[in-house]
Structure 1
C-alpha cells in the first residue's frame, strides 16, 4: 500500500471521524473506498442518489394540480427587491 498525505480542515476531519465511528469504520477506510470507486469510474453511488431523487419527485404532491410554467411566465413575474420585470 501507498501512504497518501492530504490537507483538510480540522472540522471536516473531526466530523468524518465521528461519522466513521458510528458506521463502525475509519476515515482511512472510507477514503480508500471512495478512491477505489473513483479510480474505476464507479458511479453507482451517484446513480443511486439520482434514482432516489427521481422517486421522491414522483411521490411528491407539491404540484398536485398539474400547474405548468412557460418561459414567459418565468420572465414576466414580479421580483422581490425591485429587480427584474414587474
Structure 2
C-alpha cells in the first residue's frame, strides 16, 4: 500500500469525514475505495468501447458506416 497526501477544500474534507464516519471507516480508506470504484468503472467503460469499435471487425456489420442523414432518412427501407 502506498501513502499519499491529498489536498481538498474544507467543505470536501468535512463531507469526507462525515461520510467515512457514517460508513464506519477512515477517510483514507473511503478515498481509496472511491478511487478503486472509479478505476473499475473506467476500465469497464474502456473495455465496452473497445468491443463496440471492434464490432465491425467481428463480421457483425458490413459496408460503410451510415452518414447522419442516411441514419434518420425514413423514406428508404433499411437493408
Q: What TM-score do the two structures reach when normalised by structure 1?
A: 0.41
Q: What TM-score do the two structures reach when normalised by structure 2?
A: 0.43
